[in-house]
Amino acid sequence: AQRVTQPEKLLSVFKGAPVELKCNYSYSGSPELFWYVQYSRQRLQLLLRHISRESIKGFTADLNKGETSFHLKKPFAQEEDSAMYYCALSGRNTGNQFYFGTGTSLTVIP
Amino acid sequence: DSGVTQTPKHLITATGQRVTLRCSPRSGDLSVYWYQQSLDQGLQFLIHYYNGEERAKGNILERFSAQQFPDLHSELNLSSLELGDSALYFCASSVGRTSGGTDTQYFGPGTRLTVL
């Protein structure tokens, strides 16, 4: 069955420190992974998807099929990065339905 | 701005009542998805419509129903409301290709429902 796990509900880092938000998934087949960001209970915004291999706002994420992970990383956290981050999975087996993790609330301490 | 619009922005009602939430997808998108976001349960997928037809159901209660109209806008109807239905309800849309790849979902601003 499809499943997305974000093990950390809350994560705090100091400004300028590296940050890594963890995402693990379960999926049989070739998954498509996404990271969405939500600022202050506003709309979810797409941060990045693995197939585009872009770096948005300094964030990157690499799909590791061996470890079934898609961790989100940024080398130097900024205060404006404080938000809720959701990892999501989709693919042909899901009929384009998205499965979201429970989210990680990131706080960047000034 | 993702182009997905939702109305109303806020809705306050009483238990037992019925409300309708409206969503207009991005221009050209055929798929509409509804999600419920509550503080204790995170983001829950409710239902997916593609070009007017129901495609998938998630954790949607029987008291809830949805439809997608010929102009592709969608409505989520919530009836016999309970206190626990208080949440943010998001709509998302995507192109809705029928084969190959996965569409990115673009989210609306949400409707905040408060049931008193």
For A35-48, what is each residue's pLDDT tens digit? 999 998 788 999 99
Cβ under 8 Å to A: B residues 37-96:
42-43, 45, 48, 55-56, 58, 88, 90, 92, 94, 96
Q: What is the pLDDT of residue B1?
A: 61
For the CA atoms of chain A, what is the radius of gyration? 13
Instruction: Classify residue B101 as left (phi > 0), alpha (psi -120 to 50) or beta.
Output: left
d(CA B78, CA B64): 5
Q: What is the pLDDT of residue B14?
A: 97
pLDDT along chain B (116 residues), means of 10: 89 97 95 89 87 89 96 97 95 76 84 96
Whether the pLDDT of residue A68 is over 90: the answer is yes
Please report residues of B whose CB lies closer than 8 A to that of A85: none
For A82-107, what is each residue's pLDDT tens digit? 999 999 998 777 666 788 999 999 99
Q: Find all residues with CB under 8 Å of A54, minimum gap 6, and list them.
A: A48
